[in-house]
Structures are given as C-alpha cells and as structure tokens.
Amino acid sequence: MASRRPYGWVSLVIAGLVLSSSVPAGAEAGADDWPQFRGTHRDGISRETGLLDSWPEGGPKERWRQPLGEGYSAISVVDGRLYTMFAEAPAEESTPAAVNAEAGAEAPKTDKPAPKTEYAAAFDAATGKELWRTVIGERIVTEFGNGPRSTPTVDGDTVYVLGAHGELMALATSDGAERWQIQLTEEFGTQRPYWGFSTSTLVEADLLLIESGGPEGKSYAGLDKATGKVRWTTGDAGRAGYSSPLAVTMAGERRFIYVTGGQLRAIDTAGSEVWSHPWPQGETHAMPIFIPPDKVFASGAEGVGAALVQIKPDGDSLAVEEVWSNRVMRNHFSTSIVHDGFIYGFDNATLKCISIETGEQAWAKRGFGKGSLIYADGHLLVLSDRGKLVQIEATADGYSEKGKIQALEGLCWTAPTLADGKLYLRNQTEMVSYNLEG
C-alpha cells in the first residue's frame, strides 16, 4: 500500500461533489459507437438496448463477411466506419519481385514468401468493404500468432494506432493520411515487449496517453494528441507490458490506471502518481476495471490471481486497501466485465461469475477455451477461442445460454465489438458482422 500525493478528498466529500465514472473526458464518439479498445468506457460494456433477447434458430442474421489479414487488434467503430489493424503481404504491384519485373530485371529466385506488412485500415460498417489502408510497419511474427495487437483509438477525425514494433501514428479517419508518427523504441528507449507492443492508446482531452515502457522515468507518457510532441513522461515501471490504461473519474478527478511493473497505479493528467498498490510483476495482461465509486479490480494469470482494492482518504493522502484477493478469477489476456454486482470473466479457460463484494464464485462454465466477452442489454456475448459465439444471460443465478452459433473458424483471441446494434468479430483470416437488433 502506498499513498504518494496529497489530495483534497475530505473537502470533496463534504461538498458532495464526488463524481465517479469511467467516461472519457474527450470522447466525441456517438452513443452507439465503440471508439476504442473495450468500447466507449473501456469496460467491455455496450449501453445499447433493444437487442435480441434470444436468438432465432441459426443465430442472428449475418450481414457480411470479409477477408482480413493476421492480427489480434480489435475493431473500433465510429460513424459507420470500422477501424482495425492487420498484417498481410503487400499488394502485387509493390512487391520486390513485381518491381524488378517492371524494371525488366529477372525476379530473384527465392522460396521465401513476400514479407508481410502491418496495416491500419478503415472499412464501411454496412458492407465490410475496405475504405483505406495505411502501412504501419513490419509484421511481427511469434509462436502464438502474427500481426498487430493494439486496437485503434478514434478521436474526432483522427485515429491513433500502434504497431507491434512500436510505431505510434495519428491518421486521418477520412483517408488514413499520416498526421504524425513517433517510434516508441527511439523516442523513449523502449525495448519491444516479447510478444510485441499491445497496449491501446487512450485519448484524454488534448492528450494521448500511452504506456511508453521506457527506462529512466519514461514508463508512461502524455503526448500532444495533435502533434505527437511529448508533454511529459513518468514512472519507472520497467519494460512495457501488454495491458492498456483505464481512464476514470474518482472523486471528481481524472485518473489513469495502469497495471504494470509490479504496481497497480493511478496517475493524473500531469503524469504524477496519485496512488499505487503492489502488484505481482508480469502475468497481468488484462485491463484493470473500475468499480465506482472507489474500487479497482485487477486480475492476472495463475500465481497472480485477482484482487479488489479500495482507494480511501488517509489524511491528506490516499490509502489503497485490499478488500479481497483470491485465485478464483485468473484472467490471462481477456479482460473481465462488471455487471450488477458481479464480475464475469475468464479464469484461464473457464468462464466464471464472481461476487464483487466477496470474490466468491457464483458459477463456472467451461467450453469456451481462452475466450473473450463483452456485455450488452442483459447478456454476455462470449466468443470462444475457436469461434463459437454464445449469448448468455448476465445473471449470477447460474449459467443460462440464450443462443449459440459457430461464427468463425480457427483461433479467435479478439474480443467482440458492438456498435449500433451490429456485432463485429474477427480472427486471423476474416471479419464478420451480425445484426443483433431486436
């Protein structure tokens, strides 16, 4: 437990001005958009209603299905456009062999496939047709899947993207034109995480917040979102992790919560640490979850387990107290969601429902592998790691399935996206949309 910064908590309480939410201050997206990783509030929850309560035989109507290159980047949706990232071989006309052929030179004899590139791209939400693509960088290749991991963040007419090798770029939503870019490894001396840069950027007012992962006070950075200029850096949390920051309003103040480098910590808009709490190093890739007004849930794999902490005033400072901790909910890379006093998420490969109050398990259900989930209109929408999409009643009373379809084939580690009644899913080869409107 640590309290690092004086804080006028008591006076705020007395004034009755305690505001607690995770609504991003600078969000301009429409109410039914999904503008960033895990949605408008980064909580995996859609506020839409009027969706299908139970699915007809054969499942919800498939709207379209389009090929998509490799990657784990989730799909962001704003104003009828989808944004995501993927890797594939460059178009024929730009391959070295094609360039040589055009120049009259003999194509080099090689068994190697054409090198693949990571792209950010926009698609028409109505048809899935590609509108533009912009090269981000070289494709990352790993034992457990290739291509970009980070999810685009859309803010007004700009989309912010991060390549697996650390290319941070601001692109125009209209045509993908580059507004600015920096390379994290050069700007901050960051060492690329083994599985590639995976964090998703966060927009807050005129700032773009990232886990920069650099040494010597450069763990976190606040950038001018218009120019990419570094406003501040802070923290010595070590190598960049795979989690993404969460923006919340606690006691009327904007806070950005990170779980990385052996700490669960909150910083303010100036980059100063507000509070921190020891957290096991490594193995925590899921995002922290804010439980208003003053609690934060975090979970990591196997030996880490889960904990609920409460941030309380302690004189002029803040104290972080552990409410409970256990190994009932051990998130790996899929983040849980909170609904009606319970946390729903994956304990490794078992979907569980646990009580926020006690951490005790209400129910458990296997069969989704290392799946992912979001919440919408009274239901969990769970995508299994093998492409089975299941609608489950979001209740602690027990597991209750309301619909099931095989939506995708092959490995699926990317969480669903829901915007304007339409569900968007992807895997390493394609993207599909379903109409969930009732």
Partner 1 sequence: MFRTTITLLTLSCTALTILTAAPAAGSTVDEVITKHIEARGGAEAWDAVQTLKVTGSYTAFSKIGSFTLHRKRDNKFHLDHVLGDKPVEIGFDGEVAWWVNLWNGIPWAQTIPGLDRAVLMQDVDFESPFFHYREKGYIVEFQGEDQLDGQSVLKLLLTRPDESIETWYLDPESYLEVAYDAQGSDFGSPFPQRAYFEDFRQVGGLVMPHFIEKQWYTRDRIMEVEKVEINVEIEDTIFSMPLPGDMGAFQVMVGEWDVKVEQRDSPQAPWAESERASTVERRMDGALLEERFTQQGFHALRSLTYDRFKERYRLSQFSDFTGHLDIQEGLFEDGRLTTSNVETGTPWAGFGQTFHQRLSIFDLSENGFKIEAERSADGGENWFVFSKATYSRKAE
One character per residue 43-82, x = contact with partner 1 (rule: CB under 8 A): ----------------------------------------
With binding defined as CB under 8 A, does residue 386 bind partner 1?
yes
Taking a C-beta distance cutoff of 8 angstroms, is the pair 306, 327 a contact? yes
Distances (CA, A) of 435 to 50, 240, 431: 12, 37, 14
Stretch 296-315 residues interacting with partner 1 (CB under 8 A): 301-302
Cα 242 to chain center, whole Å? 10
Q: In this complex, which beta carbon is closest to partner 1, that of residue 143 or of residue 186?
A: 143
Beta bridge partners of 153: 160
The answer to whether 169 and 161 are in contact (CB under 8 A) is yes
Tell me the closest approach of the beta carbon of residue 302 to partner 1, in angstroms.
Answer: 5
Q: How many residues does the chain have?
A: 438
Residues 87-126 that bind partner 1 (CB under 8 A): none
CA dihedral sign, ordered 267, 272, 275, 276: positive
Q: Which among 344, 421, 391 is positioned nearest to 48, based on CA atoms?
A: 421
State yes or no: residue 350 binds partner 1 (CB under 8 A). Answer: yes
Q: Which of 165, 277, 332, 426 binds partner 1 (CB under 8 A)?
A: 332
Nearer to partner 1, 7 or 342 (CB): 342
Q: Mask 215-234, x = binds partner 1 (CB under 8 A)?
A: --------------------
Number of H helices, E strands in the chain: 3, 34
Cis status, amide bond into 24, omega within 30 of 0: no
Separation CA 269–CA 271 (nearest Å) = 5
Q: How far is the CB of 304 from partner 1 (least distance, A)?
A: 11
Q: Is 144 in the site for partner 1 (CB under 8 A)?
A: yes
Pick between residue 232 and residue 363 the one whose CB is nearest to partner 1: 363
Please, which residue, 128 or 387, has the CB nearer to partner 1? 387
Neighbours of 49 (CB within 10 A): 10
Out of 363, 402, 405, 435, the only residue in the binding site for partner 1 (CB under 8 A) is: 363
Q: Which of 57, 102, 106, 143 binds partner 1 (CB under 8 A)?
A: 143
Q: CB-wise, 232 or 399, nearer to partner 1?
A: 399
Which ranges of 25-141 does DSSP label H, i.e. alpha helix? 96-102
344 in Cβ contact with 328 (< 8 Å) = no
Residue linked to tokens 């919800």: 60
Sheet holding 417-419, edge to edge: 61-67, 430-435, 422-426, 417-419
Which of these ranges, 105-113, 167-175, 288-296, 410-418, lies near partner 1 under the rule CB under 8 A? 410-418
Q: Which is nearer to partner 1, 323 or 364 (CB)?
A: 364
Number of residues that bind partner 1 (CB under 8 A): 21
Question: What 8-state DSSP symbol labels residue 394?
Answer: -
List of residues contacting partner 1 (CB under 8 A):
143-144, 283, 301-302, 332, 348-350, 361, 363-364, 366, 369-370, 385-386, 410-413
